[in-house]
Structure formats: structure tokens, C-alpha cells
Amino acid sequence: MSKRIGMEIALAAAEVAALCRPDVIAAYPITPNTHIPEHLAEIVAEGHLDCEYLPVESEHSALSACAGASAVGARVFTATSSQGLLYMGEIVPIIPAMRLPIVMALGNRALSGPINIWNDHSDVMAVRDMGWICLFAANGQETIDMIVQAFKIGEDHRVMLPVLVNLDGFQLTHVVESMIMPDQEEVDKFLPPRKPYATVHPDNVVSMGTLGLPEIYTEAKKAEDEALINSKKVILEVWKEWEKTFGRKYEPIESYKTKDADVIMLTVGSMYETAAIAVDQLHKEGFKAGLLNMKLFRPFPADELKAAVKGARVLIVTDRAVMCGGAQAPVCAEVKSVLYDEPVRPAIVNEIIGLGGRDVRVDDFIKMFKKAATADKVKPERAYEIYGVRSS
């Protein structure tokens, strides 16, 4: 039986990862995800989980060891943040290309320069096009649910891809929340042991990670792209089954008060819950605000996005990363590209918020909504704004 618990989200993430019975865990410490691998090490040390836990010497080796273990057929889990993800960076695109399922919890943290341990999405945005399925949790409950779902999605033979479960550093990792934790029996029933498609083992000899000459590389990339696009079907299936089993609904884009909404905001990650309070307050003032939260970022839910913004006059896209020198911040760039061909589409405002742990409060969201209300008449000066930046 599932039971309600009150716990730091990172610890809960570790507990639920343990319930998934991973065979191999390899991780390297970096703030703010660290409590996840730490607690898993504790669970293994106490004998509650039969698992090879590799405290490796770098993130590069963490993901490399995960690749080797996954290739043998093990269920594999790892976690990291920010620079750690970038240090893995060389290996990140190789994992999906080799079709190796691995689940990684990413405690989102700003990329260095200047060094900063706090939350934004510059880490995940740097690897967004490297072939991983990307899920974003808005709270603790979604974090633990998504970790279980991620194994089931990634290991499905129709998918065979790694999955990134994004949870905002500190805002989620270090926050104590009330969550419903499934028990071992429930997780076992939902998530049977991994059945590998192929294993690097003498009983079934295979070569993995072969060389793709120019005659093959194009087709290999197409196959990989199709695999990621087609994973959506499985993701939706798994989410449906999850809802049926546990009663909690998941969809690529969650809507809040968007029916008849005039100005809609799109958030990704934990900002959703703060923005929702702003939407409630605006409604009291008669301002027809609506809110969308993107839970599935890769594969990109284009159809769901088009449907979700229908009827809105203005769409505010919030981003948690700067695409330095680019035309737009990353989420908005994609949103605009999806909506470009729509005959009727909202005016789009791009607000970059919450960089490197900068607080974004309810009144900030209210300000953004009010300011954007006229965006369809008065075009913003620039394609994007870094909200709240101090200027002289």
C-alpha cells in the first residue's frame, strides 16, 4: 500500500529509485543532487537493496560505467547536476545513439561562469538535443512518480532510450514535502525486471558502439530521431497505466485555468506552483490568466502545445536559461517554431526568469502577466527579456 510521507525530495527520490531495484548505480558527488546518491549508498550499505554501487572518480566515468552496465542488461540509475552533466557531456549523446536505457535524476543547477550552485535550467538545456527523453517534475510527488515511470519508458523495447528526470535544484531537491510513496509490491507490479534487447555477454555475442561511416551515419541519426519521436506513444501509455494504478494523472502539458484564458503562461519545472498562485490572484481581479506546465520536453509535445494555447491572445513563455547570442531563449525558440505554421496564434512574450537561484515570487508573475497583456498591440522591443535584471 502506498503511504503518505513527509521527506526531503532528494531522499524520497533515492527511496523510490531503490524500489525500482536498480542493479548498478554509479554516481559522483555534486551539489544539489548529492543527497540522492548518498541516500542510495546508505540503502545499499544497510542491505536493503542488492545492487552494485560505484562511487566513481568523475561524472564522466559515472555515465560511462552506466553505459557498460546497461549494455550487459542491468537496470541502471545515476544522478548529477550542472557541471557534472557537462563533464558527462561527451558520453551523453552516445547513450541514446547506442539505445541504452539509463535513468538519470538531474538536480537542475546553473552552469558555471560564475560558479553558482543554485537552480536554473542551463544544465539540461545544454544537452536537450542529444537524444534523451526529458521529463520535468514540478514537485516532489512528480519527482518520485517520474523516476518509476522513467525506467518503464526507457526500458521498453519500442523505446530503448535514456531518460532524464529533471527536478529543480534546492527548490525541489532540498525541500521537505508531503508525498505519497508507493510500496515495493506496487512498484514491482508496475515495473517488472528489465528484459534487455541485447546483452554484451559471451552467451549472445554482439558488438556495440560500432563505427558509422558517412554511408550509415545519416540513416543512424534518422533512426535515433524516430526512436525518440515514437517514444511519446509509450510515454502516454505508461502515464495512462500510472493513472489507472495510482490515480495520479500525467500529461505532456498540464493546463491550469486555461479555459477562456486571455493571457497564458508556460512554465517548465517547479515555478509552475508559484505561478499558479499568481493566476488565482489575477482571477480574483478579473484578469483572465491561464497557466501551462510542460512535463514532457523531449520528445517535444508539439500537438499538445498547439491545442493548449488555442484561443489565447498572448502567450508568455518562461525560460530558465539564456541562449547566449541566440535569437530566443531555448524553450521559447521551440514554442515559436511549433506555432509559426498555425493560422491563428497568440502573440508571444519570452521572459527569462530565475537564473542561478534568483527568487521569482508571486508578485513577479503577476507583473509579467500584466505587462504581457498588451503584447499583441505593442510589440516588445526585444525577442526576449531577462526578467528583473538590474540595469543602469
Q: How many residues bind other proteins (CB under 8 A)?
A: 61
CB of 338 to other proteins, least distance (A): 24
356: left (phi over 0), alpha (psi -120 to 50) or beta: left
Distance CA 329, CA 348 (A): 12
Site string for other proteins, 155-174 (x = CB under 8 A): -----x--------------
Cell 542561478 found at: 356
Cell numbers found for residue 277: 498562485
Task: Please say which residue, 100 or 276, places its beta carbon nearer to other proteins.
Answer: 100
Which residues 6+ apart lie within 8 Å of 53 measured at CB?
A: 24, 25, 26, 40, 41, 44
Given 183, 219, 359, 363, the residue binding other proteins (CB under 8 A): 219
**199 near other proteins, judged by CB under 8 A:** yes
The one-letter amino acid code at 62 reads A
Cell 527579456 found at: 385
**7 near other proteins, judged by CB under 8 A:** no
Give the interface segment with other proteins, choosing from 8-16, 183-191, 214-222, 231-239 (CB under 8 A). Answer: 214-222
* 3-class DSSP state of 28: coil
Q: In this structure, are residues 80 and 30 in contact, taking their beta carbons and an 8 Å threshold?
A: yes
Give the interface segment with other proteins, choosing from 111-119, 222-230, 291-299, 355-363 (CB under 8 A). Answer: 222-230
* 3-class DSSP state of 148: helix
Buried b (16+ CB within 10 A) or exposed e, 23-56: bbbbbbebbbbbbbbbbbbebbeeeebebebbeb
Given 210, 244, 247, 325, the residue binding other proteins (CB under 8 A): 210
Whole-number Cα distances in Å, 298 to 125, 127, 314: 11, 11, 24
Give the interface segment with other proteins, choosing from 20-28, 32-40, 289-297, 300-308 (CB under 8 A). Answer: 20-28
Q: In this structure, are residues 182 and 148 in contact, taking their beta carbons and an 8 Å threshold?
A: yes
CB of 227 to other proteins, least distance (A): 8
Give the interface segment with other proteins, choosing from 22-30, 179-187, 231-239, 268-276 (CB under 8 A). Answer: 22-30
- Name residues contacting other proteins, limited to 97-126 (CB under 8 A): 97-100
**133 near other proteins, judged by CB under 8 A:** no
Given 45, 115, 198, 277, the residue binding other proteins (CB under 8 A): 198
**41 near other proteins, judged by CB under 8 A:** no
Task: Please say which residue, 160 or 312, places its beta carbon nearer to other proteins.
Answer: 160
The one-letter amino acid code at 204 reads N
**70 near other proteins, judged by CB under 8 A:** yes
Task: Please say which residue, 57 or 381, places its beta carbon nearer to other proteins.
Answer: 57
Task: Please say which residue, 130 or 179, places its beta carbon nearer to other proteins.
Answer: 130
Sign of CA dihedral 37, 40, 44, 50: negative
Which residues 6+ apart lie within 8 Å of 295 measured at CB?
A: 135, 136, 137, 138, 142, 250, 251, 252, 253, 254
Given 6, 45, 72, 307, the residue binding other proteins (CB under 8 A): 72
Q: Which residues bind other proteins (CB under 8 A)?
A: 23-24, 26, 50-52, 54-58, 60-62, 64-74, 76, 90-91, 94, 97-100, 160, 193, 197-213, 215-216, 218-220, 222-223, 226-227
